[in-house]
Structure 1
Amino acid sequence: REQTLNQLLTEMDGFENNNGVMILAATNRPESLDPALLRPGRFDRRVPVELPDLKGREEILKVHARKVRMGNDVNFHTIARMAAGASGAELANIVNEAALRAVRNNRRVVTEEDMEESIEVVIAGYQRKNAILSTQEKLVVSYHETGHALVAALQSHSAPVQKITIIPRTSGALGYTMQVEEDQKNLLTKEELLAKIATFTGGRAAEEVEFGSITTGASNDIEQATKLARSMITRFGMTDEFDMVAMETATNQYLGGDTQLTCSSETQKAIDTKVVEIVRQQHELAKKLLTENKRKLDEISQFLYEHETITGDEFMEILNRPSA
């Protein structure tokens, strides 16, 4: 590594006047670069390439959409909102998937439905047409996904539900609930994070409320809720016990963002206890909300069981409909 670095530095500085020569370089490991490379006079300007925001996603989609025939019903703003957190490569993949779906269905143009389905393919994988769930499993998954959606809808700090489905996917998911923020959000409040944790626990809570037993279907929800609760404590300073003290530092920002603990084993034990407390409180809240709205839980779950997919509008219509 030193030989390579020295050779590069020599080529950059050299012994001759290299006016008009510009050197460009790219890396996804900026923290591992030698400071000698980054000092003024060598690489003077750094241009971080972050994930695109809402406007950026919309423009990127339009660029890739030029290659395919788009129907008049395609709303790029809506698709960009649904694809929150997607990179440029993933957005290109979404357009390609939509084009393939249109071809498979013998259509000459890509529709809004094709684009929405392709987002689901990128997020959760293809539909597993050959996956056969037993009647009981299908019912459990219906209640599980309705639990997520209902807990989200009954909290004021949650993003609106866009779609609920119980069609198995190649990623292993037996169903999922898609929520879409109405506006681009860069900052989240403590209340919004707690609402997310409660929503993650909503699936398991629905199983408990309806069947009195639990399944393995909540494994990913548990992982997400735990990760979020831990971040609230160790990185966001959102607890009274630890105040604004960083217990964790993020590394490899551009390679998935690993974290490293910077506290004693005693503090780690206290953090673990607090994580359990936060998740348990939100789990209890989810169960309380579903118990109080048991009739709606049954009504929506039954509708989802019969139709396998519910749009956000259908979900809200059933939720706001007066109970019989």
Structure 2
Amino acid sequence: MSDKKKNTPKLTFNSLWIYIPIAVLFIGLTFFNSGSMGSKNLSENEFNQILKDNDISKIFIYNKSYAEIFIKDESLSKESHKKLSNSPFYRKGAPLYKYNFGDLQNFEKELQKAKDTYSLDFDKGNDSKTSMMDTIISFLPFILLIVIWLFFMRRMSGSGGGAGGGGQIFNIGKSKAKLFDQDTKVKTTFKNVAGLEGAKEEVQEIVDFLKSPEKYTRLGGKIPKGALLVGPPGTGKTLLAKAVAGEAGVPFFSLSGSDFVEMFVGVGASRVRDLFKQAQQKSPSIIFIDEIDAIGRARGKNSMTGGNDERENTLNQLLTEMDGFGTDTNVIVLAATNRADVLDKALMRAGRFDRQIYVDLPDLHERREIFEVHIKPLKLADNANLEFLAQQTPGFSGADIANLCNEAALIAARNNKEAIEHQDFLDAVDRIVGGLEKKNKVITPKEKKVIAFHEAGHATVSWMLEHAAPLVKVTIVPRGQSLGAAWYLPEERKIVQTEQMLDEMCATMGGRAAEKLMFNKISTGALSDLEKVTKQARAMVTVYGLNDKVGNITYYDSSGNDGFVKPYSDATAKTIDEEISKIIEGQYVRAIEILEQHKDKLTLLADRLLEKEVIFKDDLIKLFGKRPFEKDETKENTNPITEE
């Protein structure tokens, strides 16, 4: 029997809602059988008239509040009673009228007085009567509480979702992992994963372990228990796991770390046990846990709060299942996270996650491969240059490139083009990195001039410094929160020297320096510049040990345990602040000196910016000539930088 057939919901009498129409029908029949549906409420005058006419055979007083009036058979043919007695709702022998009399003692005195005065022969009786509707209303709060409780229990038990879910409260501890096997094949393969050559080799070997384990175990080796995919967001960790699912041809259980988290104590550990039990039954198999830091954080860090016990119990159960007594099964665990620094050391040891596969941001060659994957469904114009686009997108992850291609397609469609042109891709880069162009932003001519000199200052200083990043373009078109930007294409460096950092800081301070030089005033437009250079200077002094006075020492803790502890004294803190200020002010003075030497070029560039609003590298070569030093600019590049 297939899973689809087995999981088809069936209507049974165990369902709560099947009793609702039965209850409604029962209530209706009760009212109908009682004959009360054919009764009419009498006013005081109407009752007195019927009483005088001696039409009443019986009066029954119920609950000391109202009376039911029975009419004599010979009186039913009268015009005053005929219409009501012939009603389909009236049953013979039932009361024809109801009368709410008010005070019982006064009512009985009036009845006795009328009986004596008019020589009436009706019978009178007293009784108590319970209304079905009153009974239902009295029990309604309890019924509502039961219904609400059943509803939430069904929701918390994971009705209809995940392996082992059945909508029952007893299945709350079942695993929520999605199973991919021969019935639900994954179409993603390693051919769909561009770049990531090293990571693909590692996970390809895991697939080989599962396909032909004898090749590795015949020499006495053991199949690895797990592999941890680590890297920045958007680099393709989950995509690699999908490719493993598509290539391995074995049952693949996929879930997120947050799927183990539940409000009930012990549920997380129960779900871990159930997950590994299912995987062992279908071994050889693969378990993939995305965002494992949700349950894998180091234990004991927040013990004062008391809120970590359930998460730690879940982690302890995971550690036991991965490598404990009786875990000699052919199950491999893949996990992904971008927070490897917060994971528990017991989780990272060999025997659990034997391999840590770092999935880094793609380089130039890998970016071109990723572009080729994402442009396949797109309709491109002949002038689209993928090599140039790969150079213009340093620091982009695979997800960023996918977003870029989609954004370029939207821009082309917005302009009613038949194909996506190269300029559409460039506009998409500007849109993603710089933000949306603010065409309606009102800027006065005076502000525009200040912005033009600010951006020209960035461009001029960076053009004259050897280690500053090569300029791509300068613009004073407002985008996002910035009023203008200078775009650079920094080199992809594995290490950065002191001179390189100082040149980059000097180029960043060039905007404020140009404002000071040309207008003898400074503005708030350099906020992002100041934030950037302050972080760089602090890193030089406290992280990288690049300051002579503080010395070859770092206050950086890679374990992340220094959040509430200052690792240096107050005297050292004062020295650090002084050195940071000295570095920044030194580069600011240096930028002013460079701009004073090339003031004519600065003015020329600012005027051209005011005229054209956007200037590219070729325009700078025409204005400034070649840079005063030769530099190989064909090297691969890294993160794009914009100076506002």
TM over 0.5: yes
Matched, 1:217 2:525: yes
**Structure 1 residues 260 and 65: alpha-carbon distance in aligned structure 2, compared to 1, 3 A threshold:** farther
- Equivalence for 1:294: 599
Q: What letter corresponds to residue 145 of structure 1 in structure 2?
A: E
142-151 vs 122-131, which moves further = 122-131
1:232 — aligned with what?
540
Cα offset, 1:18, TM superposition: 5.1
**Cα displacement (A) at 1:260:** 7.7
Contact 2:509 2:529 survives alignment (8 Å): yes
Residue of structure 2 equivalent to 1:63: 373
Q: In the aligned structure 1, how far is the partner of 2:357 from the partner of 2:566?
A: 29
Give the counterpart letter for 1:293 in structure 2. H
Per-residue CA shift, 1:229-273, capped at 9, x if unaligned? 111111222121123211233566xxxxx9985222211110110
Of stretches 78-87 and 12-21 in structure 1, the one that deviates more from structure 2 is 12-21
Work out whether residues 249 and 259 of structure 1, in 8 Å CA contact, stay in contact via their aligned partners in 2: no
1:156 and 1:13, CA in 2 relative to 1: closer, same or farther beyond 3 A?
Answer: closer
Structure 1's 316 and 224: CA in aligned 2 closer, same or farther, altered over 3 A? same
Larger strand proportion, structure 1 or 2? Answer: 2
Q: How does 1:8-19 map to 2 (within 5 A)?
A: 8-13=318-323, 16=326, 19=329
1:245 aligns with 2:550: no
Q: Once the 2 structures are TM-superposed, how far is the Cα of residue 31 of structure 1 from its aligned partner?
A: 2.6
- Does the alignment pair 1:48 with 2:353? no
C-alpha distance in 2 between matches for 1:17 and 1:234: 46
The one-letter amino acid paired with 1:109 is A
Task: Specify the SS of the correspondent of 2:338.
Answer: coil
1:255 alignment counterpart: none
Shift of 1:144: 0.4
Quick check: 1:71–1:111 contact (8 Å CA) kept in 2?
yes
Alpha-carbon distance in structure 2 between the residues aligned to 1:14 and 1:186? 40
Q: Residues 455 and 484 of structure 2 are in contact (CA less than 8 Å); yes or no, is this contact kept in structure 1? A: yes
2:496 to 157, 173, 188: 188
Q: Give the whole-Å Cα distance in 2 for the aligned partners of 1:282 and 1:259.
A: 32
- The answer to whether structure 1 residue 107 and structure 2 residue 429 are counterparts is no
Question: Contact 1:248 / 1:261 at 8 angstroms: preserved in 2?
Answer: no
Structure 1, residues 93-148: CA drift from partner, whole Å, max 9, x if none? Answer: 11111111111111122222222221121111010111121101111110000000
Residue 266 (structure 1) aligns with: 571
Q: Does residue 134 in structure 1 map to residue 439 in structure 2?
A: no
Counterpart residue type for residue 188 of structure 1: V
Matches within 5 A, 1:83-162: 83-162=393-472
Gaps of 5+ in 2: 1-310, 627-644
Equivalent position SS for 2:531: helix
1:175 aligns with 2:451: no
Residue number in structure 2 paired with 1:76: 386
CA distance in structure 1 between the partners assigned to 2:587 and 2:332 by the alignment = 55
Which of these residues, 572, 582, 605, is aligned with residue 277 of structure 1?
Answer: 582
TM-score computed with the length of structure 2 as normaliser? 0.47
Instruction: Measure, in 2, the Cα distance between the counterparts of 1:259 and 1:103.
Output: 52
Kindly name which structure, 1 or 2, has the bigger radius of gyration based on alpha carbons: 2
- CA gap of 1:153–1:251, structure 2 versus 1, over 3 A, is farther
Q: 1:10 to 1:164 in 2, by over 3 A?
A: same
Using the alignment, how far apart are the partners of 2:488 and 2:366 within structure 1? 20
Cα distance in 2 for residues equivalent to 1:53 and 1:186: 12
Q: 1:30-45 alignment to 2 at 5 Å?
A: 30-45=340-355
CA contact (8 A) 2:341 2:558 kept: no
Q: Which amino acid aligns with 2:393?
A: A
SS at match of 1:246: coil
Alpha-carbon distance change, 17 to 224 in structure 1, aligned in 2, over 3 angstroms? closer
**Distance in 2, Cα, partners of 1:161 & 1:25:** 40
Task: Report the Cα offset of residue 38 of structure 1.
Answer: 2.2
Q: Return closer, same or farther for 1:223/1:150 CA change in 2, 3 Å cut-off.
A: same
Give CA-to-partner distance per residue, 1:200-228, whole Å, 9 cap, x none. 10000111111111111000000001111
Q: Is the 8 A contact 2:455 2:474 kept in 1?
A: yes
> Which amino acid is 2:509 matched to?
T
Q: 2:330 aligns with which of 20, 35, 60?
A: 20
* RMSD between superposed Cα atoms in Å: 2.1
Distance 1:32 1:264, change over 3 A: same
Count of residue pairs the alignment pairs up: 314
SS of 2:362's partner is coil
Indicate conservation of the 8 Å contact 2:513/2:588, yes or no: yes
State the distance in 1 between where 2:617 and 2:404 align.
Answer: 21
Q: Which has the higher helix share?
A: 1
In structure 1, the partner of 2:144 is: none
Q: Pick closer, same or farther for the CA change 1:95–1:41 going to 2, 3 Å.
A: same
Q: Distance in 2 between matches of 1:29 and 1:76?
A: 32
Show CA shifts across 1:15-47 (max 9, x none). 656543211111222233222222222211111
Distance 1:9 1:251 in 2: 21
Q: Give me the whole-angstrom Cα distance separating, in 2, the residues matched to 1:310 and 1:228.
A: 28
Task: Find the aligned partners of 1:218 and 1:259 in 2 and give their Cα distance.
Answer: 31
CA distance in 1, matches of 2:391, 2:531: 25
C-alpha distance in 2, partners of 1:62/1:111?
15
8 Å CA contact retained: 2:475, 2:485: yes
Whole-angstrom distance in 1 between the partners of 2:553 and 2:566: 12
Q: Is the 8 A contact 2:474 2:614 kept in 1?
A: yes
Tell me the TM-score normalized by structure 1: 0.90
Deviation, structure 1 residue 13: 4.0
Q: State the distance in 1 between where 2:564 and 2:543 align.
A: 10
- Output one character per residue of 1:55-91: Cα deviation in whole Å (capped at 9) or x when no partner: 2222222221222122333333332232222222112
Deviations 1:291-321 (A, max 9, x none): 1111111111001001110111112211129
Amino acid at match of 2:504: K
